[in-house]
Every structure is written in C-alpha cells, then in structure tokens.
Amino acid sequence: MSERALRGTRLGATSYETDRGIDLAPRQTVEYACQNGHRFEVPFSVEAEIPATWECRFCGQEAALLDGDEPEEKKIKPTRTHWDMLMERRTREELEEVLAERLAVLRSGGMNLAVHPRDTRKSA
C-alpha cells in the first residue's frame, strides 16, 4: 500500500507544506523605476537596509529608488603609476644619486653589456 501512495508523485520537486499557521517576517514593498519607464516593486524586510538602486526586472538597466535619496557617487581613486609608487619610496635627490652610481658602473665597464650570458657565439 505504501508503494502505491507515492506512485506518480515527483518527490523533491513539489513541497507539500503549507503556509497555514506561520507568521511571516514583517515586510515592506519598495518601488523602483528605470530610465526606460519600467516600474516595479521589490519586497524587503522591515529591518533591511534599502538599496538606492536595483536591477530592472524587465530590461536589466539600473533602476532608482522612487521617493528616495540619490545614490552616493563612489570615490574613484586615481590610477597610481610606477613613477608615483617610486616617488612614495624615494626622493628625487635619492633617485638622482642612484642614477649617477649606475651610470658610473656602466661607464667604467663594470657590467659588460656586449656579451650576453646566453650568447653561444664566440667573440673574436
């Protein structure tokens, strides 16, 4: 008999629980509108922080909260270049000193740039 009771049902696909006797959390509905004129409501918990923007469920554009404050612009940090990071670590005088030292080593022949370590040709 128990085998027949489950025959034809989709176990796991359908819930047989009901909402009777259950107190749902208090909710509020918030209305959003996108630039294309679509208006829609989104339910939130009363305790939730309401976002200023939400993705439009019709077109996917960013929708703004109706009767809400404008979203704050995020501060964009300027891109730091190699030079900027170098100047954070050293002063211009220090860099000129290092450059003078390196140029002195090159001019004295301390580094032989003519012979490459992987060069298999014999120099004449």
| 59 marked as part of a ligand binding site | yes
Contact criterion met (CB below 8 Å) for 13 and 1: no
| 13 marked as part of a ligand binding site | no
| 89 marked as part of a ligand binding site | no
Binding-site residues for Zn(2+), in ranges, read: 34, 38, 56, 59
Binding-site residues, in ranges, read: 34, 38, 56, 59
